Amino acid sequence: MNTSIIAAKKCRSALSVLGIVFISIQSFAQQQADWKLEKMPVSLETDFALSALPPQLRHNATVYLLDPKKGYYIAHKGSNGFICFVTRTEWEWGEFRKDDAAALGYDAEGARTIFPVSMDVAAMRASGKYTPLQIKNIVIDRIRKGIYKAPARTGISYMLAPVMRTYPGKPDHHDVMTMNMPHYMFYAPYLTNTDIGNIPDGQADGPVVINPGATWLGERKSPYGFIILPAGATEKAKIMSDNKSLLKRLADYKPYFKVEPGSM
């Protein structure tokens, strides 16, 4: 074969490889974009995190705050087994956002089995070494290998904060919303809405099972399912009233925390 033809083919092959590498680098950079989070003011993040818990649990709860360069750290060591923190990255959706923020509280069992996932995800994002899709795949792999385990007993996660900025739907709907929806979440590993007699996608005015991880792990294979029970109308009204100052501080900090009165 003519040496010039061979050289041309090698050149085309090299260019093709370079093109693939360039596209891969671009894709990596795009997925990794916005991995750096802004540090919330300590007093605001602390009060927001504590608002997830009922008042009687707050004083002796452990408070975790987020260092965007390292991950979560203990700002206040409690003694009652409950923890609270503000989640800023939800691995199930495989994307980095800067406007995702929801306050959560866990009992001792949730702190032992569920919170480690949030800690690891925050640390991986803070390192700047992973894309959101890589983080999602790492979490899924660790669940499948049994590194991350389901709660060993029935327990509760509190999300009684007056506002949250998060994903309201399934992981294939990348729509983040600001909502006034204080609620309780009971651990329900591997459970489905069918098991509690609900319609397949749940309904807003009663108990609902959510388990976003089931989208990739398969039905009844994700250990982090919850039965969500919204706070009653009277309780919700009191939560909103008691947290007027916090709501204003959050909205002053970031306008996306502002939500119209009466909205879900």
The answer to whether residue 164 sits within a structural domain is yes
Give the count of domains, the chain: 1
* CA-closest candidate to residue 124, choices 112, 114, 137: 137
Beta strands in the chain (DSSP E): 62-67, 71-76, 83-87, 102-106, 156-159, 164-166, 177-179, 183-187, 208-210, 226-230
Identify the H or E element spanning 135. helix 132-144
Is residue 175 over pLDDT 70?
yes
Residues 4-39 have pLDDT tens digits of: 555 555 555 544 433 333 333 344 444 455 779 999
Q: What's the chain's average pLDDT?
A: 86
Contacts of 60 (CB under 8 A, 6+ apart): 78, 79, 80, 82
Q: Which range, 151-165, 189-203, 207-221, has the best average confidence (pLDDT)?
A: 151-165
Residue 64, pLDDT score: 98
pLDDT of res. 193: 86
**What are phi and psi for residue 65, nearest 5 degrees?**
-115, 160
Q: What is the mean predicted confidence (pLDDT) over 204-231?
A: 86
Whole-model pTM over 0.75: yes
Residues 190-211, mean pLDDT to the nearest whole number:
77
pLDDT digits (tens, 9 = 90+) for 102-143: 999 999 999 999 999 999 999 999 999 999 999 999 999 999
158 in any annotated domain:
yes
* Beta partners for residue 87, in sequence order: 102
* Mean pLDDT, range 220-239, rounded to an integer: 94
The confidence score (pLDDT) of residue 208 equals 87
Considering the domain boundaries, does residue 104 fall inside one? Answer: yes
Give the pLDDT score at 237: 96
Within a domain: residue 53? yes
Q: Is residue 8 included in any domain, yes or no?
A: no
Would 126 be classed as within a structural domain?
Answer: yes
Range of the domain at 169: 36-186+230-257
Q: Which two tokens stand for residue 128?
A: 């700047």
pLDDT band at 202 (very low <50, low <70, confident <90, very high): low
Locate tokens 């916090």: which residue?
A: 246
Q: For residue 56, tell me if it sits in a domain.
A: yes
115 within a domain of the structure (yes/no): yes
